């Protein structure tokens, strides 16, 4: 199981089962991996009643980030879920994952969406000068009327807005709206990826393929 969940990581790794409950078909597993130059990663996975895989935690050390390992590890998880016919993957999106998992087609649960929606409406209105009145009104209307999948609308807004967190000397650094929103404005969220939704899975596959092509 550990090999299947992390097949993209070929460096030495160590798997630790934190618990196995055969009666309820649940387990929790942590896999630690070494990378060259003292970099490392870990992935924490648990299976809940055979129906949902929980990507409980994942970390790739900073100098090894941005090279596609995180994406590849979630890709391995998707493949494993397909093999064992799991229904969905759930996760807690925190730190950079708040943005990354939105771009990986994860959709927030109802509680997270209620908060995210409120945050998004405030953030949109505070950037009306950048987005323009008509577009701002359009976004507000769609996000208000949409369900949790309207996270995609927020994640797709690329207009440049000033960052409040990135260090700068004179003028604030400009970053895409979606990044500033997920990384600086809204909080952590719980979400899931529905493995039975064909549209979503088509999108995940196409994304993984594009990522593979660009890293060649």
For residue 35, the minimal CB distance to another protein (Å) is: 14
Angle at 34 between CA 33 and CA 40, to 5 degrees: 85
- Give me the 14-43 binding string for another protein, x by CB under 8 A, dash otherwise: ----xx--------x-x-------------
Q: In the complex with another protein, which residue's Cβ is closer, 115 or 200?
A: 200
E strand or H helix at 97: helix 97-100
SS3 category, 162? strand
Is 189 a binding residue for another protein by CB under 8 A? The answer is no
- Return the axis-axis angle of helices 69-84 and 198-215, rounded to nearest 10°: 140
Instruction: State which of residues 85, 118, 142, 196 lies at the interface with another protein (CB under 8 A).
Output: 142
Instruction: State which of residues 102, 116, 120, 193 lies at the interface with another protein (CB under 8 A).
Output: 102
Distance CA 118, CA 216 (A): 41
Q: Between residue 38 and residue 77, which ones bind another protein under the rule CB under 8 A?
A: 44, 46, 48, 54, 56-57, 59, 62, 65-66
Neighbours of 75 (CB within 10 A): 21
Tell which residue, 186, 164, 188, has the closest CA to residue 175: 164
With contact defined as beta carbons under 8 Å apart, do 74 and 174 qualify? no
Binding site for another protein (CB under 8 A): 18-19, 28, 30, 44, 46, 48, 54, 56-57, 59, 62, 65-66, 90, 92, 94-96, 98-100, 102-105, 134-135, 138-139, 141-143, 145-147, 149-153, 155-158, 163, 165-167, 173, 175, 179, 183-184, 199-200, 202-203, 206-207, 210
């Amino acid at each position: 199981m550990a090999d299947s969940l992390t097949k993209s990581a070929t460096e030495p790794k160590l798997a630790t089962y934190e618990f196995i409950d055969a009666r309820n078909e649940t387990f929790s597993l942590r896999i630690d991996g070494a990378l060259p130059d003292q970099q490392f990663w870990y992935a924490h996975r648990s299976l809940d009643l055979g129906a949902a895989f929980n990507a409980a935690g994942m970390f790739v050390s900073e100098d090894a980030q941005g090279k596609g390992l995180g994406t590849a590890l979630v890709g391995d998880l998707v493949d494993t879920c397909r093999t064992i016919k799991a229904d969905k993957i759930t996760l807690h999106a925190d730190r950079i994952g708040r943005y990354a998992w939105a771009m990986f087609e994860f959709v927030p649960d109802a509680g997270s969406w209620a908060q995210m929606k409120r945050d998004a409406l405030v953030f949109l209105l505070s950037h009306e000068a950048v987005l323009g009145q008509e577009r701002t009104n359009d976004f507000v209307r769609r996000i208000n009327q949409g369900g949790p999948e309207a996270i995609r609308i927020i994640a797709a807004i690329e207009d440049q807005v000033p960052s409040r967190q990135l260090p700068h000397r004179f003028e604030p650094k400009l970053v895409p709206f979606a990044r500033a929103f997920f990384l600086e404005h809204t909080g952590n969220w719980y979400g899931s990826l529905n493995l039975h939704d064909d549209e979503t899975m088509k999108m995940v596959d196409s994304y993984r393929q594009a990522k593979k092509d660009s890293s060649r």
